[in-house]
Amino acid sequence: MHFDIKKEDGLHVDWNDQSASFYSCELLRKMSPSADSKATREDLQQNPLAILPSTSRGPITIEDAQLVGNYAIRFTFSDGHSTGIYTWEYLRSLPQ
């Protein structure tokens, strides 16, 4: 597997099975597997008309990324969010 992170664009992954995936910064932030983001997504399923507070001014970008062992990656986003650990399996399950 090989991956490339572009701060302004997102994450590109070339998987071992020869497939490739691209995840935009916005998608990665929206689908963060952190507990607080998961709770927000669950709340929206219960009340799709809920108004969410804005967490950022301007577009979301990736400020930093760290490997977590050999099974995951953690991003720091321009809005300060950095608590989600994205396993490679979780990333494969995300829409593109």
pTM of the model: 0.81
Task: Tell me if 52 sits within 8 A of 40, measured CB to CB.
Answer: yes
Tabulate helix, strand, coil % of the chain (nearest 5): 25, 30, 45
pLDDT exceeds cutoff 80 at 71: yes
Highest-confidence segment of 26-35, 49-58, 63-72 = 63-72
Closest CA to 71 of 41, 42, 92: 92
Q: Considering the domain 2-93 in this protein, what is its CATH number?
A: 3.30.2020.30
